[in-house]
A and B are shown apart, each in its own frame.
Chain A
Amino acid sequence: MSETRLLLANIDEPDLHTLEVYERLGGYGKRLRRALLELSPEEVLQELEESDLRGRGGAGFAMGKKASFIPKGDMDKYLCCNADESEPGTFKDRLLMQKNPHLLIEGCIIGGIAAGANKGFIFIRGEYAAQADILDAALAEAYGRGYLGERILDSEHSFDLVVHRGQGAYICGEETALLDGLEGKRGNPRLKPPFPANQGLYQGPTLINNVETLCSAPAIVEKGADWFKSLGVEKSTGTKVVSVSGNVRRPGNYEVELGTPVREIIYDLAGGPPEGRQVKCFFPGGSSAPVLTQEHLDLPYTFEAMAEAGSMLGSGAIIVVDDSVQLVGLALRLSEFYRHESCGKCVPCREGTNWTVKMLERIDEGEATPMDLEIMAQVQENILGNCLCVLGDSMAMPVGSMIAHFREEFEQHIEQARAKRDLEDVSHRGAPELAAAGEAGPN
């Protein structure tokens, strides 16, 4: 089993991040000319729509369709590249931006053509300081060569691009919170509708796409939608850079055609769990995706198959959990993350994440009863679908799935922790009495 490298094709090429090497390997030049001069904006959009390229950031919405929602007309329109990659387990965009920043810039230009936008922003998370510097340097090179700015390559299209550094907030990966972060506010999700395609950044129509999605666009323009559709399967076209992490021997980014069996990704590419261990469960699409178990290993890695199995492909990050891991501790770590990152705007999420953490702590400290699992399920139910964005759901779903798949383990943990606490109680209570007995001993 080997990878199908499209986005990562030249990733090991030294100095790929420089314009010179990128151009030598076929970047910009002919295909950008095709997008700007040979094809009309409508044709670029049509090509993207027909490719069935689906968003690689998490929601999996068709990119071309999203771009087609942008109204026509002369108003100020914007393109936003979501490079706030913060989903636990995901590190594909980091690699793409660090090694191949010009591919992203070219993708942004093409996205801008499709959306009719003349101004674009790359919202990169503040933690990616080195990658942001690389992007800034690449932008300067692209401006210098006339690939950005006024009338690119003497075409009608002008496009300005700005790198905007975040300051550390998971929620800014949510598209409307990203817009708030870009407008210089606290990153709070907005009520939808209106959707960003109608009213986004500075109230203007805005196309928001993930780094990997935009990086896929240049090849589609160059080789056509039909070629792109020949990769992958029916409704999940193209390739996907999969970030594999957790309990595997070779964590890393692997690019495969969508539809590749999950087992091949985890075992053949990432080396499977360490010797003597088994896959207990895995998150198929970042930590927000409900966990799947061994029985799902032979499913094809597609948007549909993951959804049918009760999870999602999400950001395309597989986190493998082996049988040495205690799930209560993992669930606790997971909910602590969402508690910390909840922006606090919606009550079910703000309170629900906090309650979940407290209840899992109770389990771990031996103060819970089996009834707590029911209460916890109820808390998750009250979060699902009741907030402006899906951050709360992103905790409720995986935690719920862990309890659903491994209820016995949770119940056992409750019992064992209780027994342990009872034992400690006895020795604690016993200690002063024994000490007193010692003092009053034979004298």
Chain B
Amino acid sequence: MQRAGDEGAIRATPLPTGWDEAVRLDADAATVPDPVDVAVPDELRAEIEGHMAKYPDRHSAALPALGAAQERHGWCSPEAIAQVAVVMQVTPAYLSSIATFYDMLRTQPIGSSYVYVCTSVACHLRNAKAVHDAIAEEAERQGIEGVDIREFECLGACDMAPMASVDGRYVGPMDVSDAPEFVRQLKEGREVLPGRSLEDPGFRLPWDTRAQVEQSAGPEARGEDERAPAPDYAGGDRPGTPEGDAA
């Protein structure tokens, strides 16, 4: 039986798994790991070495290498960092300095996929915060796990504001009322908001009238049928309807 204040009791307290845990000042600084100690999956090793070969200096591969390791581990875990360090022959500290700097590198095991909802200036003007909150709330209600849902700075798609990036797939324009469907599709691992992504063939913004007449894709192929009406605009009315502009 351990009493409070007992050193053993403190050690027994589980520390969080992320990088916020206390630095061990009594330990020596980590050096470049010994290849004997760290096993690296062959695929990951090949990918990192491929990145290193592209640059005159192997250090340049740090960003893509960490990205590759994160894809496999779900986050930049100490194990992931050690694997990158041993292949690149750099110290773990060097890599964690990078992992803590860049927004897309996760230093906590939040989830292996992500939803970034843009709430930057242009999206802010179109009610993006409400869209994010609706999605976050809905995710909690439906009990989603393993997805990093967060507000994000400008994603460079202000033409489809408010928008979100689901693992790099840009969807928009969105509305608060899209949240339940959005989260349901996310939870079931299906494509989120099909037909409303920038990458979908023939994608057009609801108000885009510069349609190419010669394009063979009909309205069905453009996904206009499933498309929800243009999103609610900040104050309630819409930024012009497609029908009105087409006239």
Q: Is B8 an interface residue (CB 8 A)?
A: no
Asked whether A319 and B125 contact (CB < 8 A) given A86-B154, A184-B61, the answer is yes
* Cross-chain contact A333 with B67 (CB below 8 angstroms): no
Q: Is A412 an interface residue (CB 8 A)?
A: no
* A182→B60 CA distance, assembly (Å): 6
| Number of chain B residues whose Cβ lies closer than 8 Å to a Cβ of chain A | 60
Q: Which of A186, A243, A321 is the most central at the interface, judged by chain B CB atoms within 10 Å of its CB?
A: A186
Q: Is B196 an interface residue (CB 8 A)?
A: no
Q: Which of B59, B153, B159 contacts A91 (CB 8 A)?
A: B159
Q: Is A404 an interface residue (CB 8 A)?
A: no
Q: Which residues of chain A have C-beta atoms less than 8 A from B237's C-beta?
A: 274-276
Beta-carbon contacts under 8 Å, A136-192 to B: 162, 164-170, 181-187
* A186→B102 CA distance, assembly (Å): 8
* Cross-chain contact B63 with A337 (CB below 8 angstroms): no
**Closest B residue, CB atoms, query A251:** B159
Q: Is A415 an interface residue (CB 8 A)?
A: no
**Closest B residue, CB atoms, query A133:** B168
Within the complex, the shortest CB–CB distance from B243 to chain A, in Å, comes to 13
* Cross-chain contact A333 with B121 (CB below 8 angstroms): yes
Q: Which residues of chain B have C-beta atoms less than 8 A from A252's C-beta?
A: 159, 205, 207-208
Asked whether A245 and B104 contact (CB < 8 A) given A202-B57, A324-B234, the answer is no
Asked whether A166 and B102 contact (CB < 8 A) given A14-B215, A253-B159, the answer is yes
Within the complex, the shortest CB–CB distance from A435 to chain B, in Å, comes to 31
Q: Is A419 an interface residue (CB 8 A)?
A: no
* Cross-chain contact A249 with B159 (CB below 8 angstroms): no
* Cross-chain contact A274 with B161 (CB below 8 angstroms): no
Within the complex, the shortest CB–CB distance from A6 to chain B, in Å, comes to 16
* A187→B97 CA distance, assembly (Å): 11
Q: Which of the segments A35-43, A108-116, A120-128 contacts the partner chain?
A: A120-128
* A202→B60 CA distance, assembly (Å): 10
Q: Interface 1/0s, chain B 158-170, versus A by CB < 8 A?
A: 1111000101111
Q: Interface 1/0s, chain A 81-107, versus B by CB < 8 A?
A: 000011111110110001000000000
Asked whether A250 and B102 contact (CB < 8 A) given A12-B210, A86-B156, A321-B125, the answer is no
Q: Which residues of chain A have C-beta atoms less than 8 A from B240's C-beta?
A: 249-250, 271, 274
* Consensus secondary structure, chain A interface: loop
* Cross-chain contact B62 with A184 (CB below 8 angstroms): yes
Q: Which residues of chain B have C-beta atoms less than 8 A from A249's C-beta?
A: 207, 239-240, 245
Q: Which residues of chain B have C-beta atoms less than 8 A from A343's C-beta?
A: 101
Q: Which of B105, B153, B169 is the most central at the interface, judged by chain A CB atoms within 10 Å of its CB?
A: B153
Q: Which of A184, A283, A333, A340 contacts B63 (CB 8 A)?
A: A184
Q: Is A130 an interface residue (CB 8 A)?
A: yes
Asked whether A184 and B59 contact (CB < 8 A) given A88-B122, A319-B125, the answer is yes
Beta-carbon contacts under 8 Å, A175-214 to B: 181-187, 202
Q: Is B144 an interface residue (CB 8 A)?
A: no
Within the complex, the shortest CB–CB distance from B95 to chain A, in Å, comes to 9
**Closest A residue, CB atoms, query B160:** A251
Asked whether A245 and B161 contact (CB < 8 A) given A127-B116, A164-B60, A184-B61, the answer is yes
**Closest B residue, CB atoms, query A87:** B154
Q: Is B182 an interface residue (CB 8 A)?
A: no
Q: Which residues of chain B have C-beta atoms less than 8 A from A90's C-beta?
A: 154, 156, 158
* Cross-chain contact B63 with A181 (CB below 8 angstroms): yes
Q: Is A119 an interface residue (CB 8 A)?
A: yes
Asked whether A247 and B153 contact (CB < 8 A) given A127-B168, A333-B120, the answer is no
Beta-carbon contacts under 8 Å, B132-174 to A: 152-161, 165, 167-170
Q: Interface 1/0s, chain A 252-295, versus B by CB < 8 A?
A: 11000000000000000001001111000001000100000000
**Closest A residue, CB atoms, query B157:** A91
Q: Which residues of chain B have C-beta atoms less than 8 A from A166's C-beta?
A: 63, 102
Q: Which of A14, A88, A274, A337 is the most central at the interface, judged by chain B CB atoms within 10 Å of its CB?
A: A88
* Cross-chain contact B119 with A333 (CB below 8 angstroms): yes
Q: Which residues of chain A have C-beta atoms less than 8 A from B156's C-beta?
A: 85-86, 90-91, 93-94, 125, 127-128
Beta-carbon contacts under 8 Å, B22-55 to A: 54-55
Q: Is B184 an interface residue (CB 8 A)?
A: no
Q: Is A129 an interface residue (CB 8 A)?
A: yes
* Cross-chain contact A88 with B120 (CB below 8 angstroms): yes
Q: Is B186 an interface residue (CB 8 A)?
A: no
Q: Is B130 an interface residue (CB 8 A)?
A: no
* Cross-chain contact B59 with A185 (CB below 8 angstroms): yes
Beta-carbon contacts under 8 Å, B42-95 to A: 54-57, 59-64, 66-67
Q: Which of B124, B157, B167, B233 is the most central at the interface, judged by chain A CB atoms within 10 Å of its CB?
A: B124
* Cross-chain contact B66 with A167 (CB below 8 angstroms): yes
* Cross-chain contact A12 with B212 (CB below 8 angstroms): yes
* Cross-chain contact A88 with B154 (CB below 8 angstroms): yes
Beta-carbon contacts under 8 Å, B207-247 to A: 207-210, 212, 215-216, 233-235, 237-240, 245
Beta-carbon contacts under 8 Å, A201-253 to B: 202, 243, 245-253
**Closest A residue, CB atoms, query B154:** A88
* A317→B125 CA distance, assembly (Å): 15
Within the complex, the shortest CB–CB distance from B84 to chain A, in Å, comes to 11
16 A-B pairs besides A91-B159, A167-B66, A252-B208 with CB distance below 8 A are A14-B216, A88-B122, A90-B156, A119-B56, A127-B152, A129-B167, A164-B60, A184-B62, A202-B57, A243-B159, A247-B125, A249-B239, A251-B205, A252-B205, A274-B233, A275-B237
Which residues of chain A have a CB within 8 Å of any CB of chain B?
A: 12-14, 76, 85-91, 93-94, 98, 119, 125-130, 162, 164-170, 181-187, 202, 243, 245-253, 271, 274-277, 283, 287, 317, 319, 321, 324-325, 329-330, 333-334, 337, 340-341, 343
Write 20 A-B pairs (CB below 8 A) sorted by A numbering: A14-B212, A88-B122, A126-B102, A129-B168, A130-B168, A187-B101, A246-B121, A247-B239, A249-B207, A249-B245, A250-B239, A251-B160, A251-B205, A251-B239, A253-B159, A275-B237, A329-B124, A333-B124, A337-B120, A337-B154
Q: Which 7 A-B pairs have the closest CB atoms?
A: A129-B168, A249-B240, A168-B103, A245-B158, A184-B62, A167-B102, A168-B104
Which residues of chain B have a CB within 8 Å of any CB of chain A?
A: 54-57, 59-64, 66-67, 97-98, 101-105, 116, 119-122, 124-126, 152-161, 165, 167-170, 198-199, 205, 207-210, 212, 215-216, 233-235, 237-240, 245
